[in-house]
Amino acid sequence: MPKLSVIGAGTMGTGIAQVAATAGWDVVINDTNNEILEKSSASLVKVMNRLVEKEKIDQETADKILGRIDFTDDQQYFENSDLVIEAIVENIEIKRKVFSAVEKIVREDTIIASNTSSLSLASIGASLENPSRFVGIHFFNPAPLMPLVEIIPAVQTAEETTRQAKEWVDSWKKLTVLAKDTPGFIVNRVARPFYGESLRMYEEGIADFATIDWAMKELGGFRMGPFELMDFIGNDINYTVTETVFQSFFYDPRYRPSFTQKRMSEAGFLGRKSGRGYYDYAEDATKPEPIKDEKLGKEILDRVLVMLINEAADALFLNIASREDIDTAMTKGVNYPKGLLKWADEKGIDWCVERLDALYEEYHEDRYRCSPLLRRMKTKKQSFYS
């Protein structure tokens, strides 16, 4: 079996190690912090025990999986790795240093990957002497449970590197999609309006958090409402992703962050983890009741949905990914009830363009500009899937 080395034994590194070891790979996890290595090891034992209790796997399998994973603070153990995946802090300078050191240890044909969520792969890859063997492999949290993995070749990546990385991750029973090295790749780009447009409607006083969440879940079929989801992810993390995407797109107003979320983050109202976010998570707290007005609910859903569709259409227009991969990414990476391009077909391309133009007409903000692809499709009477 091939060998994987994981750099960083935090949330993502530990999850990725579990995925590969479950698929039969030998894994080495490395971290500079020995306490974190111990925590990672203990958490994997706990996960395996739970899987055995739930009868998902037997004890022998659990022991075998754990037996395949070694923990070390010494990167010399990376020797002989077929693949290295880095999952350390999201800091370009630190990542670049780590990559140039690791490249000197591993074999010449070892594929080297980063799990970065927001940094440019071209800029990380430039730290390698041979960047053609470097690629982005972006897992979602929690890695063992989320089926989607985005594979992102940098401009320097050799085709063979991308092909091999995809083949390996597919063999770990993950669903891979290919994305261009652009901010947010597929999921973190296309999902922005789910949060941004909901926050905007709240700021305009159209509805409160509970009502917006109710509309998106009850009428839209989303598993979690945007405010519940932001509280779950953490307002600090979600805000930082939005701000990074906004800056990386050269301040395109479509991705402008919200003051509401910035203030929540600054106040320490981070969500579940701090006990308070948009909602209060104290044991005796009462959850606010939504206004279950169908007409208002539909207005909320339609506005968020058309902005999501516009983002997905524009990602296709700019060849960020294929039609199928964009829809798969959103259903398997963030559990959307339907692919957005499929949804666009169901709502009708005319409806999408008219709704976006109505928003643009009302606000005269660039944020509401309709993707040229949708406009072109409307003229030609086309749909995404026929």
Residues interacting with ligand NAD, by CB under 6 A?
A: 7-13, 30-33, 36, 87-90, 94, 98, 115-117, 139-141
What are the backbone angles phi and psi of residue 114, rounded to the nearest 5°? -120, 145
Catalytic residue among 30, 114, 117, 258: 117
* Cα–Cα distance measured from residue 70 to residue 132, given in angstroms and rounded to the nearest whole number: 28
Is the Cβ of residue 139 or residue 384 nearer to ligand NAD in the bound state?
Answer: 139
Instruction: Please say if 41 is a catalytic residue.
Output: no
Is the Cβ of residue 165 or residue 370 nearer to ligand NAD in the bound state?
Answer: 165
What's the min distance (Å) between Cβ of 92 and ligand NAD? 10
Is the Cβ of residue 56 or residue 97 nearer to ligand NAD in the bound state?
Answer: 97
What's the min distance (Å) between Cβ of 97 and ligand NAD? 7
Q: Which residues contact 352 (CB under 8 A, 6 or more apart)?
A: 306, 309, 310, 313, 344, 370, 374, 378
- CA–CA distance from 328 to each of 5, 37, 219 (Å)? 28, 34, 21
Catalytic residue among 40, 118, 188, 198: 188
What's the min distance (Å) between Cβ of 13 and ligand NAD? 6
What's the min distance (Å) between Cβ of 317 and ligand NAD? 26
Is the Cβ of residue 95 or residue 303 nearer to ligand NAD in the bound state?
Answer: 95
In which residue are the tokens 């447009």 written?
A: 197
Q: Which residues contact 13 (CB under 8 A, 6 or more apart)?
A: 6, 7, 29, 31, 40, 85, 87, 88, 115
Instruction: Please say if 138 is a catalytic residue.
Output: yes
Catalytic residue among 150, 197, 228, 311: 150
What's the min distance (Å) between Cβ of 146 and ligand NAD? 9
Instruction: Please say if 364 is a catalytic residue.
Output: no
Contacts 24+ apart (CB under 8 A), 375-379: 377/349, 378/349, 378/350, 378/352, 378/353
Q: Which residue is nearest to ligand NAD (CB)?
A: 10
- CA–CA distance from 336 to each of 188, 294, 303, 329, 375 (Å)? 13, 21, 16, 9, 24
Residue 176's DSSP bridge partners are: 149
With H, G, I as helix, E, B as strand and everything else as coil, classify residue 303.
helix
Is the Cβ of residue 61 or residue 335 nearer to ligand NAD in the bound state?
Answer: 335
Q: Give the catalytic positions in this structure.
A: 117, 138, 150, 188
